[in-house]
Amino acid sequence: MTSDRKIRLAFWGTAPFAVPLLRSLALDASFDIVAVVTRPDEPVGREQTLTPPAVKSAAIELGLRVQQPESLKDETWAQSYAKLKLDVAVVVAYGKLIPQAILDVPKHQTLNVHPSLLPKYRGPSPIQAAITNGDPETGITIMLLDAEMDHGPLLAQKIVKMTGTETAPELEARLADVAALMLPETVAKYVAGETVLTDQNHSLATFTKIISREDGRVLWSKTAVEIERLHRAYQPWPGLWTEWEHGGKTMRIKPLEISVEPNISDSPGKVFANLVIACGSGGLKILRIQPEGKKEMSAEEFLRGHRDVIGSIVS
């Protein structure tokens, strides 16, 4: 930028993915983060302990001012936000739609960081989608937010190669680090008028969904390779699970560690010795498992107490 004046910026974020990006801006002398906007504290765990978002904890550590509006439609809060005299705002994994009137408050509007190569994988689960589909690469997009989901023009993109073995948390951490390196320079150039915005090719847009607990249920008709990808994509939640009917009862079990056995061919869901389960193509060997309501254990430990699972069908 030609001016020595710091860029007045509001940072919006909630999830851990946003924390490295907040730090990268906070530690850059070009920026004055005048507000960190995050979701309200929420009860977590069996004890329902009121827990702050990861971004709030990081902001307090960095000495930044935190705002946690209960509603973005609160006129009093919206008026106070409008008085911040912002140059720009940045949204990273905030987790809630932001009204257009709020997006338009900063002089240079509001930017968003999205963990995919838009227009591919718009929506809430792009990291899981990239793993599930076996993509060779994904990436980071920095874009201008508009009224539609992940629809606005692009400022910058960075390709990130995938190994084909990463879990969702591992890929998320890599992407966050890449985004944190990109973000300060991208924002500074944009505010200085040095960025040419590029419209997305909306005809190529694909969309991801909100992942539910039910998505973790294993459909053994899928190939072993497909299920192994889901196993990596759905860590730590919802994880994979399946059910075994025995003795007139249903036991829900979670495969925690698996490996692909390509030479298995039998009815999908059939259980073999050593806890290998047939899939639509190939099979999966269960190395560690957690029966519902019990601690995790090795396959050998499980079989010592449940030899009758061999030859049965799980679903």
Residue 93: which of 55, 47, 131 has the closest Cα? 55
Residue 68's alpha-carbon distances to 35, 53, 169, 253, in angstroms, are 10, 10, 26, 39
| Burial of 72 per CB tally in 10 Å (0-12, 13-18, 19+) | middle
Is the separation of the CB atoms in 234 and 219 below 8 Å?
no
Amino acid at 131: I
268 is in an annotated binding site: no
Q: Is 154 labelled as part of a ligand binding site? A: no
Residues 6+ apart with CB under 8 A from 117: 137, 138, 139, 141, 157, 159
C-alpha distances in Å from residue 243, one per residue of 208, 296, 312: 27, 16, 11
Report whether 103 belongs to an annotated binding site.
no
Q: Which helix (DSSP H) or strand (DSSP E) does residue 271 occupy?
A: strand 271-272
Residue tagged 């607990």 (tokens): 213
Find, among 91, 104, 84, the residue nearest to 11 by Cα.
Answer: 91
Cβ proximity of 242 and 315 under 8 Å: yes
Residue 303: C-alpha distances to residues 71, 264, 274, 292, 307 (Å)? 51, 20, 8, 15, 5
Residue 69, annotated as binding a ligand: no
Q: In a 10 Å sphere around its CB, with 0-12 CB exposed, 13-18 middle and 19+ buried, how is residue 79 labelled? A: exposed
Q: Put residue 103 in one of left, alpha, beta given phi > 0 → left and psi -120 to 50 → alpha.
A: alpha
Residues annotated within the binding site for (6S)-5,6,7,8-tetrahydrofolate are 116-119
Residues annotated within the binding site are 116-119
